[in-house]
Structure 1
Amino acid sequence: MEDEPPPQGVSAKALEATLLSALKMLDVGKWPIFSLCSPEHIKLIRQACVFGSAGNEVLYATENDEVFVLGMNCSGCLGTGDMQSTIIPRRLDSLCGKKIACLSYGSGPHVVLATEEGEVYTWGHNAYSQLGNGTTNHGSIPCQVSTNLVNKKVIEVACGSHHSMVLTSDGEVYTWGYNNSGQVGSGSTANQTIPRRVTGCLQNKIVVNIACGQMCSMAVVENGEVYVWGYNGNGQLGLGSSGNQPTPCRIAALQGIRVQRVACGYAHTLVLTDEGQIYAWGANSYGQLGTGNKSNQSYPTTVVVDKDRVVEIAACHSAHTSAAKTQSGQVYMWGQCRGQSVAIPHLTHFTCTDDVFACFATPAVMWRLLSVEPDDHLTVAQSLKKEFDNPETADLKFLVDGKYIHVHKVLLKIRCEHFRSVLNNDDEIIEMSAFSYPVYRAFLEYLYTDNIRLPPEDAIGLLDLATLYRENRLKKLCQQTIKQSICEENAIALLSAAVKYEAQDLEEFCFRFCINHLTVVTQTQGFADMDHDLLKNFISKASRVGAFRN
């Protein structure tokens, strides 16, 4: 049995206007606590986090970077300097003007917040030194944590029930607080009163993502390995055992699988791989592993979410609920759902994973800081993006497959070396036949936006263009997009394209995918039609990594 959390007391213009209006206001209506705020005030909200043992506290920031709090104020977690509950939003002057980058909270509750400048502030419950200020006195106002974090820029924060963890921009992890099960990773079980760097197996690793369960900690490093430490009574560390781990240990069962993100529930863990697959392990009394039963798992187990690629996973250390969003935008949930058990991923009508926790989880808290950017003022980048394919301001047209794409010569020359050498001032129309309309349009739009928008199946053509024009960053973006479309049927074709265009990252990704799905891949038509030299190299490389070992 897993432990329960400790109780705590239309026209195009009209459509565009509608979309902009939606962007300007954060949708917080599904969380009951916001019924205490006036509609006029809600319209100003740009960031928000509902937290606490029953979703009875909230912190939010407005469009002018003012910070407000509201709710029960257990253990001084509102940061107002007292322990008084409030049904009227109160301003936190000490945080106003500081742009919030990320926020997490514990069960006490205590709050850990990082600003865009990388500063860390904590307040609230502190009986286990989870505020990192060297004491066990509750903190009723936000105070900056500076010990051992001077000259460090914090980019991510995570809290367990009573311990805290932060990730710096140089890939280092620091922890402090409750350590009865080794969750701060120091090698002992003594509480840690100030931030100290987690070393051991992480000493020479660059960490890219962190997460906390109630009494355990997780870190993903840049090569996709996952390291875990802390409480393991429900197998939530994924090590194949139930013994606690006082220092970071790599999950050996994920060998050869490259993890991108990790998310922790109360006593279960989810990871998302670079192939868009989910693995889960740990406590399962509510079906939160999505395996179809309620048996705990101490090894990573595949979670099947339809046939679509997963792009986001969500869990919260105060709940037994799991959620995921697919590439096509569908949102699934499983685990505890209003007290009931959902043992396999269930398709919801939601468009974001946040709504799963607002409507189904117990307590109804946010699994992350909700954030939206204001759209009233256009930055330089936004202004340029708006002018792409605008015939009213353009001075050059590309004719591709009988369609025009309107652009600006000066921007093309600034952004692309190829155009600096080929564009003439008297050019008005340029016909392009070497590439398809979707590919060339995506390329020109990339010059305006720094991003690419096209289906993964068309990205190989864009990869060809990027190679020809020597656009290295575009080449990297193409590889990321192509990865999203990989399956057993096209893996060899994508591997061949990666070799042809010297896309080394994509080549390695496709090779690993083929090895992980070797039986099916070798039975496809693509494998049968494989170029002789490519086949020879593939077999040689596969042999070296032990793919044909009995």
Structure 2
Amino acid sequence: MSLEDWTIFRILPSHVRAKIRLFYVLGANGNEAIFVTDDDDVYGFGTNYSFCLGIGDCGATIEPRKIEVLCKQKLKAISFGASPHVVGITGNGTVYAWGHNAHSQLGTGTQNQTNCPVVVGAGSGHHSGLHSVSRVACGNFHTLALSDGEVYAWGQNSCGQIGSGCLSGQATPRKVTASIGAHKAVDIACSQTSSFAVMENGEIYAWGYNGNGQLGSGNSINQATPGRCIGLENKIVVRVVCGYAHVLALTDQGHLYAWGANTYGQLGNGSKLNASTPVRIASDLGRFTDLAAIHACSISAAITESGKVYMWGQARGQFITTPVETPFESLDDVFANCASPSVTYRAVPTRTNVLKDLVASSFDDSETSDIRFVTFDAPNRPIWCHKSILRIKCLYFHKMFREPWNEVDKNIIEVENYPYTVYHAFLKYLYTEQVSLNTEDALQLLELANAYCEENLTKDCTRLIKQGINHENSAFIYDYALRFEAKDLEEYCYRYMLNHMTDITQSEGFMKLDESTIKAFIFKASQTGIFKT
């Protein structure tokens, strides 16, 4: 996507936009923005309502101003509430908050607004507070944080959204333990006055306001402690997002579920009737890999494994009751062009660097290249590249195109171990930092990435493979991960197989595993207590 798709960034000079690597658009009208530069400096500009820019005063500014306390801290995520209050996570998992605080939603122990970011939960005179936080989520006047599988909450609690069992507000982070104390959480989300957590076993717990059925409990009664969303039995949820008063969930099989308010068709079920229990939607559109919503508006979006982006709900005054395909390439595009207000649902990475675009466009260009790669399965389809770019982008090629390697003077490299599709994807990744392959090819690309010590590509391949795991191939991928010591992928496959034990153990892929692998899997599974009667 282009940074200029967000109206507020059009006022910045091009040389400023070129340095932005991460940005967030917030506020009631999308009139405020915070961004991180390539030098890891953090800036804010816009109307600065309720000190939400964190620049040290309440003044509006067209000129970006530095947020000193966040500079050089590798800011990686931001969430904001309606007031607005803003919460951010730095690279080491420390949480900072600033802005409106009438309901103690900043977690500082007071109700005083702050015009500069402060550490959440820090004791008086101590730079302590929450650490190792991986996610934050803001409702209207309350906040959630996820740290090492534990959910913390603070702020307004008029509807039970803190999950403490009472309706008293909470001025500092408090661990949510009722009902979910024995489980580890993997995701969190907030609608305006409700809270949600996805547990590692795939269950969703919800608490807070329930006037539109958004807690998924089958009724409209508020809950002051977490309760399980019903109707998702035997479904393994991996992600949850919230709109103004509706909820979307994604399962490990790529299925979408929705519930809650539906005035604008934001549930995508073809009607405008609220739903108090999860209903599956878009079942005819294939497997989905990600979804998006934000409590500031009532639009929903999701992307399939084939890269098609769909949206529904309130889009620029239109009410769309079933998912429609868009021409966009990312979920961020939906919020930039169709949401009201036009705000980001996440911290958005961007690249406006002209040189980088030039490098990407030169891939497989026979006119400018000085080397070509020929694979064993496609000898008449060379892949055209540039030695200088490959040396910069990949340590393996940096060594290859130097003495005493034989390839230093060659202009044709024969590839014997990987097919055209895989090697083409690998070389394209070096130019574009983007990859898109089916699961089988992604496995081979993962092997290649490990062989060439390309860590970022390894992570991207693992992400692709996870999205393509199903009952038939999970055992094969698990065995592959074991053989190549891909620990992250191994653990993900193990969890998937554990959650679908009956179907997996009856699959052809499982039957093909060697005896020692099957025994090791069953022994590991037995330690979780899954075979208890």
TM-score range, shorter chain: 0.7 to 0.9
Give the TM-score normalised by the residue count of structure 1: 0.72
Aligned partners of 1:133 and 1:193 also within 8 Å: yes
Q: Which residue of the other structure, out of 259, 273, 298, is the alignment partner of 1:320?
A: 298
In 1, Cα distance between the equivalents of 2:474 and 2:38?
Answer: 47
Aligned partners of 2:19 and 2:353 also within 8 Å: no
TM-fit CA distance, 1:221: 1.9
**Alpha carbons of 1:373 and 1:150: their partners in 2 closer, same or farther (altered >3 Å)?**
farther
**Alpha carbons of 1:265 and 1:393: their partners in 2 closer, same or farther (altered >3 Å)?**
same
Q: Deviation string for 1:506-546 (max 9, x for gaps)?
A: 587479779789xxxx9xxxx9xx69978xxxxxx9xxxxx
Aligned partners of 2:476 and 2:509 also within 8 Å: no
Give the TM-score normalised by the residue count of structure 2: 0.74
Number of residues of Structure 1 aligned to a counterpart in Structure 2: 482
Q: Which residue of the other structure, out of 232, 239, 254, is the alignment partner of 1:261?
A: 239
Structure 1 match to 2:195: 217
Structure 1 match to 2:150: 172
| Aligned sequence identity (%) | 43
Asked if 1:338 is matched to 2:321, the reply is no
**Alpha carbons of 1:178 and 1:28: their partners in 2 closer, same or farther (altered >3 Å)?**
farther
Partner of 2:189, secondary structure, is strand
Aligned partners of 2:299 and 2:315 also within 8 Å: yes
Q: Which residue of the other structure, out of 173, 176, 182, is the alignment partner of 1:195?
A: 173
TM-fit CA distance, 1:310: 1.2
Structure 2 match to 1:160: 139
Moved over 3 A (4+): 146-151, 372-378, 391-394, 397-408, 425-446, 449-454, 457-466, 474-487, 494-517, 530-534
Q: Which residue of the other structure, out of 20, 24, 33, is the alignment partner of 1:45?
A: 20
Aligned partners of 2:201 and 2:499 also within 8 Å: no
Q: Which amino acid is the alignment partner of residue 137 of structure 2? A: A
In 1, Cα distance between the equivalents of 2:20 and 2:263?
Answer: 37
TM-fit CA distance, 1:67: 2.0
**Alpha carbons of 1:374 and 1:155: their partners in 2 closer, same or farther (altered >3 Å)?**
farther
**Alpha carbons of 1:370 and 1:118: their partners in 2 closer, same or farther (altered >3 Å)?**
same
Asked if 1:29 is matched to 2:5, the reply is yes
Q: Which amino acid is the alignment partner of residue 97 of structure 1? A: K
Partner of 2:76, secondary structure, is strand
Q: Deviation string for 1:200-256 (max 9, x for gaps)?
A: 223232222111100011111222221211111111111111111111222242222
Structure 1 match to 2:439: 456
In 2, Cα distance between the equivalents of 1:194 and 1:507?
Answer: 37
Unaligned runs of 5+ in 2: 357-362, 364-368, 397-404, 450-456, 483-489, 513-521, 523-533
Q: Which residue of the other structure, out of 262, 273, 287, is the alignment partner of 1:309?
A: 287
**Alpha carbons of 1:458 and 1:350: their partners in 2 closer, same or farther (altered >3 Å)?**
closer
**Alpha carbons of 1:344 and 1:444: their partners in 2 closer, same or farther (altered >3 Å)?**
closer
Aligned partners of 1:305 and 1:332 also within 8 Å: no
TM-fit CA distance, 1:257: 1.2
Asked if 1:72 is matched to 2:55, the reply is no
Partner of 2:179, secondary structure, is helix
Structure 1 match to 2:105: 130
Aligned partners of 1:463 and 1:501 also within 8 Å: no
**Alpha carbons of 1:222 and 1:393: their partners in 2 closer, same or farther (altered >3 Å)?**
farther
Unaligned runs of 5+ in 1: 1-21, 379-385, 413-424, 467-473, 535-540, 542-550
**Alpha carbons of 1:475 and 1:115: their partners in 2 closer, same or farther (altered >3 Å)?**
closer
Q: How does 1:387-536 map to 2 (within 5 A)?
A: 400-401=376-377, 454-458=437-441, 484-485=467-468, 492=472, 494=473, 497=476, 506=493, 509=496
In 1, Cα distance between the equivalents of 2:63 and 2:375?
Answer: 59
Q: Considering only aligned residues, what root-mean-square deviation do their CA atoms show, in Å?
A: 4.7
In 2, Cα distance between the equivalents of 1:399 and 1:356?
Answer: 39
Asked if 1:91 is matched to 2:66, the reply is yes
Q: Which amino acid is the alignment partner of residue 173 of structure 1? A: V
In 1, Cα distance between the equivalents of 2:459 and 2:101?
Answer: 45
Q: Deviation string for 1:50-104 (max 9, x for gaps)?
A: 1111112111222222222222222222223332222332222232222211101
Structure 2 match to 1:239: 217
